[in-house]
Amino acid sequence: MIPVQGVQGRRVAVLGLGRSGLATARALRAGGAEALCWDDNPAARAKAEEEGFACADLLKQGAFDAVSALIVSPGIPHLYPAPNPVVAAALAAGVPVDNDIGLFFRSFATSDWDGFDVTPRVVAVTGSNGKSTTSALIHHILDMAGRPTQLAGNIGRGVLDIEPAGDGEVVVLELSSYQTDLARSLTPDIAVFTNLSPDHLDRHAGMGGYFAAKRRLFAEGGPDRAVIGVDEVEGRFLANQMAEGPVDDRVIRVSSGQKLTGAGWNVFARKGFLAEWRKGRQVAAIDLRGVAGLPGAHNHQNACAAYAVARALGLAPKVIEGALHSYQGLPHRSQIVATAGGVTYVNDSKATNVDSALKALAAFRRIRWICGGLEKEGGLGALKGQTGAVAKAYVIGREAAGFALQLDVEAEVCTTMAQAVAQAMAEAEPGDTVLLAPAAASFDQYDNFEKRGEDFMAEVRARLGEG
């Protein structure tokens, strides 16, 4: 645990008592603060009370008297589409609003560092798609290279739940737009921007607000080095803003599909090969085609970003290449579930928006596509003309019929995962890939994308006689 600094003797309110909320309350208490907790869920409050935390309705008159700050969990809106009533009350009372990410960055460095040979560092990764894989891959590369490292944030453990950094340790954080948008302190040593595509638009009042939330990671803290995907205009704009000129190697530009040969520091992948260029010359190359844990061009972009971070941390290309080959991938992200009868079954339940689904569809040759769910703002128009590898779609979800009508491929309305898997398996031929890449949120049928992916895997394995 990382005790929060600067809160000794203060009362700090915590709104939301999930994984990060409870970790925050514990870290506040460890820092000498009184944590005043609230969650609308009685079970969550009961769990906090079992740990000795006081719970109080923060909407009651005078609830913010003598409260020095309100710490808000990521899923709770603080501005758009409307502030949570408790957040609104804090704003009205003039109480500073922050989150656990802000507390982490102001509490990470300690006096113990004076005795370290190598100062600990923080790598923070954000973007629309690929940030989980990129974060996990950076962590894996460092681990394989023998560098002490921890992984936290939007993946794995809450940021305040990790151990205080040791000598030379690198903490890798995956940060969502919900987290970067509110944090009052953002000071990573290396910041990574993977890409940008429409997502969470209601939470950020459109693409401009969504990009602005991501951009804060770079603009607020001024990282020593920025690794930026430049395949979209927003990434190119951000790289331009961070660099003092074309030879400024504090910015490492990353691409999947474009050859980047400018005078600066560039890492790109084309036709399955990763290349590193500096000062107009190629300095290293890696064949990614045999890296089983990173299939498809979208994962090659993730590999480029992770490679760039590892190089910025001083690792040699050969060390990085070896670590890439031992990476097993993350659950629900291009995860190979089984191969039987010449058919491969892939779980990409994390493809919760159109852009991530398109990347998954581009990774395989002939696809039996299981898709559908709670459609996100912006619709499915971007899918049109991009589904050439799809032999047939099998649509799930409560609004499966409407979803199917928007597709430009043969589509069967299945509604349930069980029916979709059964039909796709019955029609699949050797060489086909049965792919779950929903292009939609899961909340119409499942608690989260993980539950959806687990259901897919269970159905496949049961029908293959493995479950």
Half-sphere exposure of 137 (CA within 13 A, CB side): 30
d(CA 420, CA 393): 9
Q: Across residues 156-162, what is the average pLDDT?
A: 92
pLDDT at 224: 96
329 has binding-site annotation: no
Nearest-CA neighbor of 364 among 388, 330, 395, 384?
Answer: 388
The answer to whether domain 11-98 has CATH 3.40.50.720 is: yes
Checking if the pLDDT of 377 tops 80, the result is no
> Going by DSSP bridges, is the β-strand pair 54-55/335-340 parallel, antiparallel, or unpaired?
unpaired
| pLDDT tens per residue across span 276-301 | 999 999 999 999 998 988 988 889 99
CATH topology of domain 104-326: UDP-N-acetylmuramoyl-L-alanine:D-glutamate ligase (3.40.1190)
Q: Report H helices in 165-232.
A: 177-182, 201-204, 207-219
- Band (467; pLDDT cuts 50, 70, 90): low
Which residues neighbour 454 within 8 Å (Cβ) at sequence distance 6 or greater? none
Write down the domain spans for the chain.
11-98, 104-326, 335-462
Inter-residue contact 156 to 275 (CB < 8 Å): no
What is the rounded CA–CA span in Å between residue 255 and residue 275? 10
- pLDDT bucket at 376, cuts 50 / 70 / 90: confident
105-119, 323-337, 406-420, 452-466: least confident range = 323-337
Residue 128: per-residue pLDDT = 92
The annotation status of 20 as a binding-site residue, yes or no, is no
pLDDT, tens digit, 9 for 90 and up, residues 185-196: 999 999 999 999
- Annotated binding-site residue? 131: yes
Does 132 count as an annotated binding residue? yes
Q: Which pLDDT belongs to residue 372?
A: 97
168-181 confidence digits (pLDDT tens): 999 999 999 999 99
Would the annotation count 128 as a binding residue?
A: yes
Do 281 and 261 touch, CB atoms closer than 8 A?
A: no
Q: Is 127 annotated to bind ligand?
A: yes
What is the per-residue pLDDT across 62-89, written as a single tens digit (0 to 9) for each? Answer: 999 999 999 999 989 999 999 999 999 9
CATH architecture of 335-462: Alpha-Beta Complex (3.90)
Helix and strand totals (H; E) in the chain: 15, 20
Q: Helix 131-144 crosses helix 317-326 at what angle (to 10 degrees)?
A: 120
pLDDT at 293: 87
